[in-house]
């Protein structure tokens, strides 16, 4: 749901920035690209040290220049540092982040972008780097509150700022008994697949095949339908469903079908599955499907990606450790596709801690650490 909220002054603008991000940042640089007086979203970067300010400013402004219709920006530094005294003892106080703000101003001017305002939210106050009347110690942090009417409007649209940029990157907590049930379902599914398809079971065939596992194995015959239905699942109460998805997401060829389908639609899954079969027979994999993984092509539906991420996070929490890297890597890709690079880095690091050669996890983490964002992050459609 898209809503329009007007900020009357710098304090109201700062109160709304966390809602643009979906979190309350700390130790961060946040850039808000603008077209005229309208914001086009927000981009968060880790706050660099002063010696890295020039490079970060250059890269950040370069990314903003890729956004269609952008002609201005606002910059906000979030820091744990306190506001300092005036350098000459007579002017405004020294706001943390001044070196970075100066570098941003130079790069923005060189690119033809107007720097509307540059602000710092410090440990003990806030202020604008353009405010000559800034009082000693800055302005009160209590000023940065969303007005009640606006807060209700945002809440009704589901727009929140819970936690910081790292919040939400931990797997859901599940009971040990739930994990044991999924591990047993995994073993039963493997035995069923060995009987039906001849796929070797790593744990050895069971003396009796679980009927539920046989039914689940048959559902794997239509993966696009399975992946589409999974968007409305809650795997926790159904160990076999968690096992089915965990089994698929642990296999790169099947996981990539899910990735393409959840980033497009069920028809995209059908096309991806057909392409995978052709590739296994020696044909080239279609470039338009491969480009989805690199973040190119039409912008995915965010609600669809969110639903997929919620399911895959739960699966990653439930499956045995050996099967966890695949779901974790996909959590990383989905987070990256949604613009949550900090979360993507966390998930892929967890995956690589289990399997240091995991391909997708390594690719997504390299995207994040190189500052590479999906192409659709720079487009409105």
- Rounded to a whole number of angstroms, the CA Rg of the chain reads 24
Secondary structure E strands in 79-215:
114-121, 126-128
Indicate the pairing of strand 72-78 with strand 114-121: parallel
User: What CA–CA distances, in Å, run from 315 to 258, 335, 352?
Assistant: 14, 15, 17
- Residue-range domain boundaries for the chain: 10-156, 176-378
Is the overall model pTM greater than 0.85, yes or no? no
Helix then strand count (H, E) for the chain reads 15, 6
91 Ramachandran zone, left/alpha/beta (phi>0; psi -120 to 50): beta
User: What is the token pair recorded at 349?
Assistant: 């690091």
Q: CB-based burial of residue 174 (10 Å sphere; 0-12 exposed, 13-18 middle, 19+ buried)?
A: middle
Contact assessment for residue 75 and residue 30, using Cβ atoms and an 8 Å cutoff: yes
* Eight-state DSSP code of residue 69: T
Fold classification of 10-156 is Cytidine Deaminase; domain 2 (3.40.140)
Q: In 3-state terms, what secondary structure has residue 336?
A: helix
Each of the 381 residues of the chain gets a pLDDT tens digit; together they read 444 445 658 999 999 898 888 888 999 999 999 999 888 888 999 999 999 999 999 999 999 999 988 999 999 999 999 999 887 767 789 999 999 999 999 999 999 999 999 999 999 999 999 999 999 999 999 999 876 555 555 555 455 556 777 777 889 999 999 999 999 999 999 888 887 766 555 555 445 677 778 777 888 889 999 999 999 998 878 999 999 999 999 999 999 999 999 999 999 999 999 999 999 999 999 999 999 999 998 999 999 999 999 999 999 999 999 999 999 999 999 999 998 888 999 999 999 999 999 999 999 999 998 888 899 888 766
Whole-angstrom distance, CA of residue 283 vs CA of residue 197? 24
């Amino acid at each position: 749901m898209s809503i329009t909220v007007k900020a009357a002054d710098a304090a109201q603008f700062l109160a709304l920035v966390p809602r643009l991000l979906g979190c309350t940042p700390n130790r961060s640089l946040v850039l808000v690209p603008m077209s005229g007086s309208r914001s086009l979203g927000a981009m968060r970067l880790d706050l660099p040290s002063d010696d890295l300010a020039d490079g970060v400013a250059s890269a950040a402004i370069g990314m903003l220049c890729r956004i269609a219709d952008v002609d201005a920006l606002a910059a906000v530094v979030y820091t744990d540092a306190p506001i300092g005294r005036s350098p000459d003892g007579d002017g405004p106080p020294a706001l943390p982040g001044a070196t970075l703000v100066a570098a941003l101003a130079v790069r923005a001017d060189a690119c033809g972008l107007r720097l509307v305002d540059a602000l710092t939210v410090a440990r003990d106050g806030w202020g604008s780097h353009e405010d000559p009347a800034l009082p000693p110690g800055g302005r009160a942090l209590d000023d940065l509150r969303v007005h009640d009417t606006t807060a209700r409007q945002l809440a009704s649209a589901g727009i929140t700022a819970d936690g910081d940029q790292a919040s939400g990157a931990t797997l859901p907590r599940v009971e040990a008994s739930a994990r044991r049930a999924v591990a047993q379902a995994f073993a039963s599914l493997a035995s069923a697949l060995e009987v039906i398809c001849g796929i070797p079971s790593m744990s050895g065939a069971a003396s009796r095949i679980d009927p539920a596992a046989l039914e689940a194995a048959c559902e794997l015959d239509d993966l696009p339908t399975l992946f589409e239905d999974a968007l409305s699942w809650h795997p926790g109460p159904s160990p076999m469903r968690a096992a089915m998805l965990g089994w698929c997401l642990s296999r790169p060829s099947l996981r990539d079908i899910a990735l393409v389908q959840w980033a497009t639609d069920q028809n995209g899954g059908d096309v991806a599955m057909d392409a995978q079969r052709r590739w296994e027979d020696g044909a080239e994999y279609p470039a338009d499907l491969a480009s989805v993984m690199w973040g190119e092509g039409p912008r995915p539906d965010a609600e669809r990606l969110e639903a997929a991420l919620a399911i895959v996070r739960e699966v990653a929490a439930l499956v045995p450790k050996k099967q966890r890297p695949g779901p974790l890597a996909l959590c990383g890709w989905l987070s990256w596709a949604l613009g949550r690079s900090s979360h993507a880095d966390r998930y892929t690091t967890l995956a690589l801690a289990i399997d240091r050669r995991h391909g997708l996890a390594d690719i997504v983490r390299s995207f994040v650490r190189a500052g590479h964002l999906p192409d659709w992050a720079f487009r409105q459609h």
